[in-house]
Amino acid sequence: MKSVYKCAILSLALLLSFTGESFAQFQTGSGYGMGSSSGRTVNNQKARTDTTTEQVFSFKRLFRGLAHKDTMAIGYAFGASMVVPGLGQVYNRDYWKIPVIYAGLGTTIGLGVHYNNLYKSSVAAAAGIEGAVPDKRYKNISTACFVGAGLIYWAQLLDVNISYKIKTDKAAGKATIYSILFPGAGQAYNGEYWKIPIYTGGLTAGIYFWTFYNKQYQRYKRIHNEATNPDIPYDGPIGAETALYYRDSFRRSRDIAVVSTILVYILQIIDANVFSYMADFEVSDDLALRLEPAIISPLNIDFASTGTGIGMDSAVGLKIGVNF
């Protein structure tokens, strides 16, 4: 089970670690966004052509952006805050938030370490006394403190995305980051609310089956270990071979649920990014289909007849035109 969790965590860590580099393609997100009028669409397309020439991460651009000597794409600000919390707030000029972030992180992490040490001390003390049990309160408080630190870290990343200023209503980079931090938020940002229950339902189902199959896997793993341990007498109703079969079956089902959950998570990120980019793709209200006769000439001029307006090798056909 530990290997599966490690794979899941590693996959998400790799996805987030490459965020800063991959968001180099979201140059339009920093200043252009997605428009609705045809004139704005043309400008956005021209701006996208002008601003996507630099695709590679540059520390020089990062530091110039933090010094407010140059604009910085949302991916740069988000990636910088992932590595060093508060750098995104520096770019957004929200300086007062930085001490709040570090005070919260320092307090929660410090208390978490303190209570974890107290729990370890209680475990060591209980080990020398028969019937004594360690104080679980210390462990619970320590876990709550570390969870609080993680929430503060997550909140400062979300704040970077919310406070990042753009010149238009929508930006693909912001939609993508919203979906990374909170599944379904990118779809809400794009105004596609009907997709939210689809993705949240998929993630909820994936997590449910993940935990259910893992519980059953752990159960039959324990039974199999007891049934095959020669030092422990076992007289349970489930034999070793049966327990082995169900253990492997539930383990495969659990692994499939893990992979499915990760795929749904990645899919909703891609969906938010793609449809945010397509927000300025216009389809005119003037939809028309035209059918008209046409003279079809050979593609290769060497085979075309000469001397008349319509060559012997030309043909009469039907031309179909579509306006959209």
Beta bridge partners of 288: 323
Residue 192 forms part of a structural domain:
yes
Q: Are 113 and 62 in contact (CB under 8 A)?
A: no
Q: Are 86 and 153 within one domain?
A: yes
Looking at residue 281, what is its pLDDT? Answer: 66
* Structural domain boundaries, residue 205: 167-283
Structure tokens at 259: 């992979």
- 116 and 224 in a common domain: no
Using CA atoms, how far apart are residues 172 and 20, in angstroms rounded to an integer? 14
Residues 172 and 261 in one domain: yes
- Whether 155 and 219 map to the same domain: the answer is no
- What is the per-residue DSSP string for 120-180? HHHHHHHHTSTT----HHHHHHHHHHHHHHHHHHHHHHHHHHHH---SSSB-HHHHHHHHH
pLDDT at 285: 63
List 293's β-bridge partners, or say none. 318
* Whether 183 and 126 share a structural domain: no
* 74 in the same domain as 161: yes
Residues 104 and 192 in one domain: no
15 in a domain, yes or no?
A: no
Per-residue model confidence as pLDDT tens for the chain (324 residues): 455 555 555 555 555 444 444 444 444 444 433 333 334 444 444 444 433 334 466 788 888 888 888 888 888 899 999 999 999 999 999 999 999 999 999 999 999 999 999 999 998 888 877 777 888 999 999 999 999 999 999 999 999 999 999 887 788 899 999 999 999 999 999 999 999 999 999 999 999 999 999 999 999 999 999 888 888 888 888 888 899 999 999 999 999 999 999 999 999 999 999 998 887 666 566 667 777 887 777 665 555 555 444 555 667 777 777 766
Name residue 315's beta-bridge partners. 296
Q: What is the CA radius of gyration of the chain?
A: 30
Distance, in Å, from the CA atom of 152 to the CA atom of 145, rounded to the nearest integer, reads: 11
Residue 53 lies in a domain: no
Contact 91, 66 (CB under 8 A): yes
Judgement on whether residues 82 and 159 belong to the same structural domain of the protein? yes
Q: Which among 322, 264, 319 has a CA at the least distance from the CA of 296?
A: 319
Tell me: do 173 and 272 sit in the same domain. yes
Nearest to 185 by CA among 222, 148, 158, 218: 158
- pLDDT given for residue 12 in this prediction: 52
Shared-domain flag, residues 143 and 214: no
Please give the pLDDT value at position 22: 44
Helix/strand/coil (H, E, C) string of 61-122?
HHHHHHCCCCCCCHHHHHHHHHHCCCHHHHHCCCCCHHHHHHHHHHHHHHHHHHHHHHHHHH
Angle at 198 between CA 251 and CA 188, to 5 degrees: 130
Is position 42 within any domain? no
Residue 178: which of 9, 44, 26, 2 has the closest Cα? Answer: 26
Is 59 domain-assigned?
no
Question: Which domain-ending residue is among 131, 150, 165?
Answer: 165
Number of separate domains in the chain: 2
pLDDT for the residue numbered 28? 40
20 located within any domain: no
- Domain final residue pick, 144, 165, 186: 165
Calpha distance 80→29 (Å, rounded): 17
Q: How many Cα neighbours within 13 Å face the side chain of 206?
A: 18
Q: Is residue 204 part of a domain?
A: yes
Does 195 lie in the same domain as 263?
A: yes
Q: Single out the residue of 293, 282, 300 nearest to residue 321, CA to CA.
A: 293
Residue 251 lies in a domain: yes
